[in-house]
Every structure is written in C-alpha cells, then in structure tokens.
Amino acid sequence: WGFGTFPGQYGMALLVAPHLTINTEAIRTFRLLPWDYMPGAFLPRTPETREPWYTAEELTRFRLSSKSHWDVPVTLPNGRVVHFLCSHPTPPAFDGPEMRNKKRNHDEIRFWADYIAREPYIVDDDNQPGGLPRGAAFVILGDLNADPDEGSSFKNPIERHLLTNGRIKHSTTPTAEIEVDGLDPDDTAHFGLRVDYVLPSRGVEVLDGGVWRTPPAGVSAFPSDHYPVWADLRFPTSRTSE
C-alpha cells in the first residue's frame, strides 16, 4: 500500500548482532491496520467539495502503513528486553491539494505515539489488541520522511508526536562530523533534511551518536540518498518479562 516499482521495494530490515536475541514469537506487525481505525485520522478530502478522497469501500481496505510498522523485541546481554519500533512512512510529497501523502505520513508517525500510549484502537496483524507493554524500553527507528524544522510535512508530526513526547528521550540530536555543501550538520539525507531517526525511550542513556557521512571503503559515493544514523545506547538492567 505504498509506492514501488516491484513488491518489496523500499522495504525494511532489522539486523542484530549475534549476541543479541530477537524474540520472534513476540514480534508484532501492523501492516494491515486500516487507516480509518485511527481516531481523528487526517483522512484526505477533495478540496472543492470537502467530500472524502477515498470511498467508504476503499477505506475498508486502505491501510495506515505504507510499508509496515513493526514492534520487534530484542533481548540484550544484560537481560533487558528492548522493543525496536520500526517503520518507513510515505514521503509527504507526490500528491495534490488533497494532501493524501502528507496526511498519511503524519498519521504513520503519530501511530508510534499512540502505540506507546496504549491507545485502545490498536490491533496487530494477528488480531491482538493493545499497545506497548507497560514500562517497556523501546527505540523508534527508521526513515520517517519528515523533518521537524524544514520540508513539506503536514502539521509537523515529528515535533508534535515524538520530540515533545514525555516518554521519548530527544535531548540529543545526532550530527555529522563531515561537512557537506548545502547540508546542515543534522541532515540525514542528500536532499537537505533530517528524516532518519534513532529515538530511545526515556531512561535510556545516550553515550554517543551521529550521522555517518563517510563513504564505504572503495566507494566514491553513498549507495543511498540517505546517510546512516547511529547511536550508542546503554539500557539499565530490568526484568525480562516485558
């Protein structure tokens, strides 16, 4: 339910080191969640008539997630279970005055704020209701395709739902050591915006982080129009039943 010239284009992958354990039985995905399940969703309307852009029949099938939203629990060596919340929302562009992509981008980002707040409308692809377990540590990861200060996002979802969220640690903004003409230090994409994020939950210690602009050895340019964002995090030891 997102743009692609072949199935799986612009998809996602979460890679972990061998000493970490992905709790595969506890993974939750939200690929099938209909957009109109979200209370107060910014469903697009035709500007001239204010009629819904999508028909009622289309909305019964139209998904919130343009790729997917994942909750992947990973057990760390200290026993802590960390929930990696991964997504790749549609860009807030390539639409018309109805702003269907801009509004969907907003709501795809808002989903994570709702998920950690345990909003009751949420149901996963196995038809299990509910949000993040209470007290769970998490990290929001991904190319969210929205900048809190620039760009074309609708109603600034990064600032509105993530960077002012009391459950998310956002006091440190990763920056690049290498200067690139036309880019701010915190820009994560070649087109001059901060759109890629590693946002841990409150209580996680951020030891270091940055935007990696050094091309791989033997390569003259990056193979992507985005730079990797990295963070060195320390999680306190806690129970493993999260």
Helix/strand/coil (H, E, C) string of 99-116? CHHHHHHHHHHHHHHHHH
Angstrom distances, CA of residue 183 to CA of 84, 91, 130, 135, 180: 28, 19, 40, 38, 6
Please state the rounded mean pLDDT for residues 202-206.
95
Q: Is the pLDDT of residue 46 over 80?
A: yes
- Give the pTM: 0.94
Contacts 24+ apart (CB under 8 A), 216-222: 222/190
CATH of span 21-234: 3.60.10
The domain ranges of the chain are 21-234
Q: What does the chain come to in residues?
A: 242
Burial class (CB in 10 A: 0-12, 13-18, 19+), 31: middle
Instruction: Say how far apart CA 152 and CA 75 lie, in whole Å.
Output: 37
Contact 202, 167 (CB under 8 A): yes
- Span 147-185, pLDDT tens digits: 999 999 999 999 999 999 999 998 889 999 999 999 999
Residues 6+ apart with CB under 8 A from 3: 10, 66, 90, 94
